[in-house]
Structure 1
Amino acid sequence: MSAILSADDLNDFISPGVACIKPIETLPAHPPESNSNAYEVTTEEHATASQPRTPAQISLTDCLACSGCVTSAEAVLVQLQSHNEVLSTLDAHPSLRTPWLAHNGTNGKLNNILNGVNGHYQQEGKLFVASVSPQTRASLAALFSVSEVEAGNMINQLLSGASGLRASGVHGSDFTWVIDTNIVREACLVAAADEVASTLSPDVTPSSSTGFEGAIDTTPKQPILTSACPGWICYAEKTHPEILPHLSRLKSPQALTGTLLKSVLSQRYNVPPSQIWHLAIMPCFDKKLEASRSELTSTAWLPNHDTTHDPVRDVDCVITARELLHLASARNISFSSLPRSPLPSSSRIPFPDPSIDAFLFPPRRKNQSVLAGPSGGYMYHILRTYQAQHPGSEISESPGRNADVVVYSLTQGSKSIIKTARYYGFRNIQNLVRGLKPAKVSKLPGARMGVSRRPGGSSAAARESVKDYAYVEVMACPGGCTNGGGQIKVSEVEEVRALEGIQSVNRETTVGRPGLTEQKEWLRRVDEAYFSGSDEESADEDGDLNMVEPEASKLNGLLDEDVVNGISRSYIHNMISHWSGITGVSTQDLLYTSYRKVESDVGKKKQSDVERVAGLASALGGGW
């Protein structure tokens, strides 16, 4: 964060403050009036009245230019991730279909022969894989008035179906697998609960560090703050480095999906990481920044952190719900006309490892509880895990200063077991950060130690209450991930439906621009689709109904006894152990990542073009 954008000026979605404006001289000049006299002298008041200046406006591009929130290198990497990049990559490379020759950790080589089609290495081929967030499906479901399951089927049809992208591409390339990030999130939820338990356990000694706060081999401090939101991570790294020790070291579902796919396929099945192209479809643009992080590349999980190969990003490209519609439109595909039924099972290519295939493509889908919230349910799963370990305990909810701040407590009688909270939106995040700042010692003679003056009258009692939380689910967007910046907005609904040839139901239409009331109603509909997406009964391609047990799942024919929110902890632990075993990579390198303080270049000497290009070239090595 720069001096131009003050932290106190920040609004939700990091809207710029009044001090951050586009210079007036960059605005287009007004043409002189034809009847004006070039030699006429006028007053300043008359000139201002006769030639009113256009109000200064600021866009994301202007924010990127200041390099305060996002560096120039990050800006370029974000711009490269678009629906056009997806199409150009599909047209440049045929889909790679491999014979899946298993081996033991030779990093893509078997007897010095690289795997490929029919056993031959195909330099230009790529294995295309996509992962889709449930929030994206919910946004499209609300837009086209379909169920979340049907929206997911439509996405699968676009990416992998006969009437989708392959029908009009140069090579007929499509995506071999389309993975629901809800599945990988289950591993994240279990790992998050383990991380909290490890941090709070009195028997666990602090782990050794590599020398900086936020390192992968350090134990986070209480309260642990969610790390799945890249907008929040970017804000913390660049404005509040004192928060880094509190950040969860756990990778997000997007990053973990990429690590899972590329590590297994390269370390076990001879497919070089550079030939695996992973597309993530996410609810916000900040996920593009996450995909560009140098920590989330193949160098992090290669055995012994092998640096002899060029790093390849775990996620090659991120697009949003709106960009997915642009993707279909660019190929003259009407998204609303795509089949709403699932792809036939006969066309599915199983993942080569049977255990991971069963994990990634389960026969049943689990419910997303409304109590879990619209952002993945990290905090809720941790609460339920502790509740399962303390029979008879109860969860109580205390509303905060607004709807995006809620405090939850797990108690058993008069005993408090654990206290957690949910903070959404940057206004609330600022209050959370203030509560975690250490008190400054006054330098005045005779002043009390540990007393500080803070804007807004923040008291020591308030700071202590924040530090009492064991875990805080932090998300940058107000309303959570279903309200992400890349989701369909209410102001776009009618335009998109008109382009798709859909008759409007007129529920979002208002006279003029839709206001806050209409946006809230629209978000309510998206949330409704999100929470009802994993119905307790879903139809397979033959029309039969598959029932899902609400509190237990049968895994491998057995009923687990350690199920929390329909997720078996032992099953997840066994899957992670299996993953680590077949790749030869430690679970720490697979599941966790690190964070670091980022210095802003605002107000500093600008790099020359040569230096900037050289820096970008090194940053671009991960798969671009």
Structure 2
Amino acid sequence: MSAILSADDLNDFISPGVACIKPVETLPAAVPPTDEAALEHEVILEGQGPSSTTNTNAPTQISLTDCLACSGCVTSAEAVLVSLQSHSELLSVLDGAPGLRIRYDESGEASVEGLENPDSKLFVASVSPQTRANLAAVIGPGTSEADAGRKIAQLLMGEGGLKAGGRWNNAFTWVVDTNTAREACLLLGAEEVLGESGAAKPILTSSCPGWVCYAEKTHPHVLPHMSRVKSPQALMGTLLKTTLSRKLGIPPDRIWHLAVMPCFDKKLEASREELTDAVWGGEGKPGRGVRDVDCVITSKEILMLAEPRGLDFFGLSKAPTPTSLQIPFPDPAVHRFLFPSRRIRQSDTAAGTSGGNLYFTLQYVAAQHPGSNIETIRGRNVDVVEYTVKSATGEPIFRAARYYGFRNIQNLVRRLKPARPSRMPGGKAVGTTKRPIGKSTGMEYAYVEVMACPGGCTNGGGQIKVDDPVVVERKGSEAKPGPLEQKQWLAEVDEAYFSADEAGAERGEDLDETGEEFGSGVLGGISSPHIHDTLAHWANITGIDIDRLTKTSFREVVSDVGKNKPSDTERVVQLAGKIGGGW
């Protein structure tokens, strides 16, 4: 799922008669056995079902959530259903009904207009820095990540963007930067590593959904090691849905959240049952509630979004959104968090382009030990790097690593695989492997940053590549780009990713909302007191425990593909057991 996928690219669609592992949770009907009984777990396309009417089982309905719980027919099933989260779906929702509107009275109280139409929604979007960097590279030299971000905002909420067309002239009320949620995730992740989080060491990052799906389906033994902190996309979705629903007094299903991301796998993350209002608004357990992120589109789909409306994305203004369209967020403290007056830094280039989880944690550890320094050791390839924090006397304090790309990830998970008990009485465990330790000190890793894409998130599957027609056309190159050109292209994207630092420094945008430089408690431009105060305020206004708001969970995916199907009697016993029957 880390490659670019679209319905047009697929040649292995599920055809009628291919068994699906989704169980049909009903007791078997008492009908005479027929050949058609074998179809009770089958996917039947409309108009192509069995002609006989003796089969009483309804066709199985498959959703994207079901496919996430399957390690069998994932290639086509996930890809086809992921296409339901697309630019076409976004335009369809925008044209579904007039959007909800926010109005403020003289006292500053917010009210919502348009609730009488049950199909109307409040539209809000969040945009990743990797997407902005990718589009900045496409736009051309001299374009910063911030410039591309302003073009995206003009498309989503400006007068000359989506608002200029469509049935209802709908647009997004707010477009926010996921970097604000990233700062909270970095701080929470570092505290998780050094605190008593309950996760087994080494703690593995979980912000890459491609890696998470891979672990859940093929290596469940690593799940106890996974960081419980939500990704920036997920945390932002929870923040927007909970705050807006509480402050505006509207249900979360009236709030429609779009995320613009560099990766198709983010569509899978948005469909997880762990990231719905069933967790934060119900009993705290995963379920099929209202998703925190309703739709994910990628950098490539931003251009595809503009085309049906006859818009030229590259012709949109780089100017900030007019003040007249900047509606205050209904909570002032959350507004200051989402729309800080300072520029959000992308950190040092050593942090990489995947958010900087590992880099911030290393800085966080070093800050706890004055005089310490960070040593770097290159691994077997550029996507494997080891880090050691050493004290002033040269003693190793903390050890971590970075593993990007599935080939390198496989080496990591093998080292985490537990030993199998011996079948011989008194025998030693077999299959014991070496723990993931550093080469220089022999100290076990405490933290590992894992990403599915080689090179990190700026190389995500949803990014515009050097051989895409739009890039070839704008560069005016007639020769087909090769690996060297792709490498140079990624360097341009990475350069744009860090361009925000230079742009912000030139304009002096390194101040907090009071106009003063951040004081104590600041690390890498991130103010720990500000983050903690905001999180505490968030929990207070929603009445939800902060762990339920910021943490998530993972589960092993068990497939019965290729296994013998249970008999009707066995299924009755299983179902009875689920409902507490005494069988």
* 8 Å contact kept, 1:82–1:319: yes
Q: How big is the shift at 1:445?
A: 8.6
The residue number in structure 2 matching 1:548 is: 510
The residue number in structure 2 matching 1:212 is: none
Q: 1:461 to 1:422 in 2, by over 3 A?
A: closer
Q: 1:532 to 1:451 in 2, by over 3 A?
A: same
- What is the CA–CA distance in structure 1 between the aligned matches of 2:12 and 2:242, rounded to whole Å? 45
- What is the CA–CA distance in structure 2 between the aligned matches of 1:398 and 1:599, rounded to whole Å? 38
Is 1:139 paired with 2:134?
yes
Q: 1:269 to 1:100 in 2, by over 3 A?
A: farther
Q: How big is the shift at 1:601?
A: 4.1
> Is 553-562 or 173-182 further displaced after alignment?
553-562
For residues 368-407 of structure 1, the aligned pairs below 5 Å read 368=346, 369-407=348-386
Is 1:597 paired with 2:562?
no
The residue number in structure 1 matching 2:91 is: 87
- What is the CA–CA distance in structure 1 between the aligned matches of 2:436 and 2:549, rounded to whole Å? 39
Q: Which amino acid aligns with 1:588?
A: D
Q: Which amino acid aligns with 1:126?
A: K
Q: 1:467 to 1:239 in 2, by over 3 A?
A: farther
The residue number in structure 1 matching 2:173 is: 176
Q: Which amino acid aligns with 1:473?
A: E
- What is the CA–CA distance in structure 2 between the aligned matches of 1:269 and 1:302, rounded to whole Å? 16
Correspondence for 2:470 among 476, 496, 506 = 496
Is 1:522 paired with 2:489?
yes
TM-score between the two structures when normalised by the length of structure 2: 0.79
Q: How big is the shift at 1:155?
A: 0.4
Q: Which amino acid aligns with 1:116?
A: V
- What is the CA–CA distance in structure 1 between the aligned matches of 2:436 and 2:181, rounded to whole Å? 39
The residue number in structure 2 matching 1:128 is: 123
Q: 1:345 to 1:472 in 2, by over 3 A?
A: same
Correspondence for 2:403 among 423, 426, 432 = 423
* 8 Å contact kept, 1:435–1:467: no
Is 1:473 paired with 2:453?
no
Q: How big is the shift at 1:559?
A: 3.5
- What is the CA–CA distance in structure 2 between the aligned matches of 1:277 and 1:521, rounded to whole Å? 37
For residues 292-331 of structure 1, the aligned pairs below 5 Å read 292-302=271-281, 304-305=283-284, 311-331=289-309
Q: How big is the shift at 1:361?
A: 0.4
Correspondence for 1:259 among 238, 256, 262 = 238
* 8 Å contact kept, 1:295–1:593: yes
- What is the CA–CA distance in structure 2 between the aligned matches of 1:12 and 1:450, rounded to whole Å? 36
- What is the CA–CA distance in structure 1 between the aligned matches of 2:442 and 2:514, rounded to whole Å? 39
Q: 1:305 to 1:442 in 2, by over 3 A?
A: closer
The residue number in structure 2 matching 1:542 is: none
Q: How big is the shift at 1:399?
A: 0.4
The residue number in structure 2 matching 1:560 is: 519
* 8 Å contact kept, 1:399–1:405: yes
Q: How big is the shift at 1:578?
A: 0.1
Q: How big is the shift at 1:294?
A: 0.7
Q: Which amino acid aligns with 1:324?
A: I
The residue number in structure 1 matching 2:320 is: 342
Q: How big is the shift at 1:439?
A: 2.6
Q: How big is the shift at 1:328?
A: 0.4
Q: 1:410 is paired with a residue of what secondary structure?
A: strand
For residues 96-135 of structure 1, the aligned pairs below 5 Å read 96-99=100-103, 116-117=112-113, 121-135=116-130
The residue number in structure 1 matching 2:257 is: 278
The residue number in structure 2 matching 1:203 is: none
* 8 Å contact kept, 2:518–2:527: no
* 8 Å contact kept, 2:510–2:517: no
Q: How big is the shift at 1:69?
A: 6.7
Correspondence for 2:498 among 516, 531, 547 = 531
Percent identity over the alignment is: 53
> Is 356-365 or 66-75 further displaced after alignment?
66-75
- What is the CA–CA distance in structure 2 between the aligned matches of 1:328 and 1:311, rounded to whole Å? 31
TM-score between the two structures when normalised by the length of structure 1: 0.74
The residue number in structure 2 matching 1:233 is: 212
Q: Deviations over 1:310-361 (max 9, x none)?
A: 7110000001011111100111111111111111223200101000000000
- What is the CA–CA distance in structure 1 between the aligned matches of 2:373 and 2:443, rounded to whole Å? 22
Q: 2:195 is paired with a residue of what secondary structure?
A: helix
Q: Which amino acid aligns with 1:400?
A: G
Q: Which amino acid aligns with 1:471?
A: Y
* 8 Å contact kept, 1:435–1:466: no
The residue number in structure 1 matching 2:164 is: 167
Q: Which amino acid aligns with 2:343?
A: R
Q: 2:102 is paired with a residue of what secondary structure?
A: coil
Is 1:485 paired with 2:461?
yes
Q: Which amino acid aligns with 1:561?
A: S
Q: 1:578 to 1:71 in 2, by over 3 A?
A: farther
Q: Which amino acid aligns with 1:578?
A: H
Q: What are structure 2's unaligned runs of at least 5 residues? A: 6-10, 17-66, 567-583
RMSD between aligned residues: 3.3
The residue number in structure 1 matching 2:412 is: 432
Q: Which amino acid aligns with 1:474?
A: V
Q: Deviations over 1:54-92 (max 9, x none)?
A: xxxxxxxxx99x952738875554121010000000001
Q: 1:156 is paired with a residue of what secondary structure?
A: helix
- What is the CA–CA distance in structure 2 between the aligned matches of 1:269 and 1:582, rounded to whole Å? 12
Q: In the comparison of the two structures, how many residue pairs are matched?
A: 502
Q: 1:342 to 1:12 in 2, by over 3 A?
A: closer
Q: Deviations over 1:276-332 (max 9, x none)?
A: 00000101100000000011001111165499x971100000010111111001111
- What is the CA–CA distance in structure 2 between the aligned matches of 1:444 and 1:518, rounded to whole Å? 57
> Is 89-98 or 598-607 further displaced after alignment?
598-607
Is 1:195 paired with 2:192?
yes
Q: How big is the shift at 1:527?
A: 0.8
Q: 1:517 to 1:602 in 2, by over 3 A?
A: farther
* 8 Å contact kept, 2:71–2:557: no
- What is the CA–CA distance in structure 1 between the aligned matches of 2:182 and 2:73, rounded to whole Å? 28
Q: 1:459 to 1:261 in 2, by over 3 A?
A: closer
Q: Which amino acid aligns with 1:525?
A: E
